[in-house]
Amino acid sequence: MREISDIGKLIDSYKAYLMLERGVSENTRQAYVADVSKLLGWLSGEGMKLRDAGADDLHSFLAAVHDIGVSVRTQARILSGIKSFYRFLVAEGYVDENPTLKVDSPNIGRYLPEVLTVDEIDAMIASVDLEKPEGQRNRAILETLYGCGMRVSELVNLELDKVFAGERYVVVRGKGSKERVVPISETALDEIARYMEEYRPTLKIKPGEENILFLNRRGHRLTRVMVFYIVKEAADRVGITKEISPHTLRHSFASHLLEGGANLRAIQQMLGHESIATTELYLHIDRSRLREEILMYHPRNVRRQL
């Protein structure tokens, strides 16, 4: 297997492959290289090498892309570029296996993550082995992910001084460093308190990470991939066969709020969506439900009903 010693030279070789072997247009070549750059940047941020990335890691990357609001059509195009790149890596002997063969393209017609039932989520949280040192931390993570509907990037960067236990809310820093206030349940706060008492004091916290809530065994903040595995392993333990990720807990949180009668605007604010249209698509709300909300609360209609 050939060594990958210089990423810049590897990309140059890939560009030549696209032009000479594939004969793609200049626009397609630029798009594919940009897609690969996104993947390489994400892997670097997760502390991973290209050669070590597997199908689960690529799923996690695509979930992160989805999480920042990239359209499903663009997600499919990014995956197409990555698949082309891995065909090149296999053909040139840089990797032995092609992990993209196990990654399906999102349904352009309507891609929506799975929704877990409350019972399934309860079972996942209850399945965490508290005999393991990190067990209480993992239980607190699952409870917080679901209870606050956070993006995984928001969870791994959640700060201690942004958790207001007395007032039962957390301040979450979302996309564009915008902060929002999200209520947090007593259950999640209890799990966090136990984690703070039982596990966190045993850690040798690295400089600069003192204010980060959730840490790994080495005292660093968690990576997105680590949280992905925590969620996936909990689902596997209770026999859940749905394709899930941390994003699934966020989606389930919002769907359960909607089913329980929560206001659509409140859900939008808790999720940190810029547009209510994003919330509508994200929660797979049908047009008739949204129309009923508008007809019920629009001031012109309210006045007519008085």
Q: Is the whole-model pTM more than 0.85?
A: no
**Domain range list for the chain:** 7-102, 118-262
pLDDT score at 123: 96
17 is annotated as an active-site residue: no
282 is annotated as an active-site residue: yes
DSSP state letter for 2: -
The encoded tokens of residue 76 equal: 């499919």
247 is annotated as an active-site residue: yes
pLDDT score at 283: 52
Q: What are phi and psi of 176, to 5 degrees?
A: 70, 20
What's CA 227's distance to the chain center, in Å?
9
pLDDT score at 295: 58
pLDDT score at 291: 52
Domain 7-102: top CATH class: mainly alpha
The encoded tokens of residue 35 equal: 């897609």
206 is annotated as an active-site residue: no
Domain 118-262: top CATH class: mainly alpha
CA–CA separation, 84 and 74 (whole Å): 15
Identified catalytic residue from 83, 139, 151, 221: 151
Identified catalytic residue from 137, 200, 221, 247: 247
Q: Which of 136, 107, 115, 274 is nearest to 198 (CA)?
A: 136
Identified catalytic residue from 66, 77, 139, 250: 250
Identified catalytic residue from 59, 83, 137, 273: 273
Identified catalytic residue from 14, 32, 199, 282: 282
Q: Are strands 169-173 and 163-164 parallel, antiparallel or unpaired?
A: antiparallel
Residue type, 299: P
pLDDT score at 209: 95
256 is annotated as an active-site residue: no
Alpha helices by DSSP H, listed for the chain, are 7-17, 26-45, 55-67, 72-91, 118-126, 135-148, 152-156, 186-198, 224-237, 246-259, 264-271, 276-282, 287-297, 299-305
3-state secondary structure of 161: helix
CA–CA separation, 159 and 220 (whole Å): 13
User: pLDDT tens per residue, the chain (306 residues)?
Assistant: 677 778 888 888 888 888 887 777 787 888 888 888 888 888 888 888 888 888 888 888 888 887 776 777 788 888 888 999 999 998 888 888 898 888 877 655 544 567 888 999 999 999 999 999 899 999 999 999 999 988 888 999 999 999 999 999 999 988 767 889 999 989 999 999 999 999 999 999 999 999 999 999 999 999 888 999 999 999 999 999 887 888 889 888 888 887 777 777 788 888 887 766 666 655 554 444 445 555 565 565 544 444
Neighbours of 159 (CB within 10 A): 15
Tell me how long the chain is: 306
pLDDT score at 218: 93
- State the Rg of the chain over Cα: 22
